[in-house]
Amino acid sequence: TVMSEALEDLDAGIRVNGTVINNLRYADDTVLVATSESELQVLIDRGNDISERAGLSINTNKTKFMIVSRKPDLNPNILVSGKPLERVRQYKYLGAWVNEAWESYQKIKTRIEFARTSFNKMRKVLCCRQLNIKLRVRLLLCYIWPVVTYGCETWTLKDASIKRLQAFEMWCYRRMWRISWTPRIRNETVLRRVHMP
């Protein structure tokens, strides 16, 4: 592709296990990755030059840049053919939101809300005592967990997010077994019931 040709020989980018990564591509979407303003400008200039030679152009209205740094106060000026690019604090890429702080708490909270809605739509099946619990757990894993974990490849998991995910898991199991919170039945007991033969 045009972008792979433009960027393959450049040393700009981040190093992962000794390999330089300066772009992520999916279909016609490309994310450029650099460690500095000057590196990013080199990547953009090179990509733009090769694109123009192929009769293509970078759409500056759709092209944005974001800084993931402990110093978010930086104010770089990134240009494409002399036009400044807009800086954003968050960006949706392939259906998943990425933000400057690389914080995932809000994303996870939203995914859990969607999954809770999906669970409630399937409540009659998931909570039906006439169905074997193993089947109901498989249905939960098949239909509800993908809703929760959509985009999880981009998550940065911190303790608060892990606890929130675990709490949602217990919320599901307690409803499936019809165990209320008032009798003080421990989560370990609920998990044993769910996973018993």
Instruction: Report pLDDT for 121.
Output: 97
Instruction: Report pLDDT for 92.
Output: 81
d(CA 93, CA 76) in angstroms, rounded, equals: 22
Q: By CB neighbour count within 10 A (0-12 exposed, 13-18 middle, 19+ buried), where does 77 fall?
A: exposed
Instruction: Report yes or no on whether pTM surpasses 0.75.
Output: no
24-69 confidence digits (pLDDT tens): 888 878 888 888 888 889 888 988 888 888 888 888 888 888 888 7
Q: Which two tokens stand for residue 171?
A: 């919320």
d(CA 121, CA 144) in angstroms, rounded, equals: 10
pLDDT mean over 164-187: 83
| Percent residues over pLDDT 70 in the chain | 93
pLDDT bin (cut points 50, 70, 90) of residue 89 is confident
pLDDT bin (cut points 50, 70, 90) of residue 94 is confident
7 near 15, Cβ under 8 Å?
Answer: no
Check whether 75 has a pLDDT greater than 70.
Answer: yes
Check whether 5 has a pLDDT greater than 80.
Answer: no
- E-assigned strand segments in 34-150: 64-65, 79-80, 83-84, 86-87, 90-93, 96-99
Check whether 161 has a pLDDT greater than 80.
Answer: yes
Instruction: Report pLDDT for 182.
Output: 66
Check whether 107 has a pLDDT greater than 80.
Answer: yes
d(CA 153, CA 166) in angstroms, rounded, equals: 18
d(CA 52, CA 138) in angstroms, rounded, equals: 52
Instruction: Report pLDDT for 73.
Output: 65
Beta bridge partners of 93: 96
| Percent residues over pLDDT 90 in the chain | 26
Average pLDDT, rounded, for the chain? 85
Beta bridge partners of 80: 83
Maximum alpha-carbon separation in the chain: 71
Check whether 155 has a pLDDT greater than 60.
Answer: yes
155 near 175, Cβ under 8 Å?
Answer: no
Beta bridge partners of 99: 90
Check whether 21 has a pLDDT greater than 80.
Answer: yes
Q: Which two tokens stand for residue 121?
A: 């739509």
Long-range CB contact pairs, 71-79, < 8 A, 24+: 72/100, 72/101, 74/37, 76/37, 76/40, 77/37, 78/37, 78/40, 78/41, 78/44, 79/41, 79/44
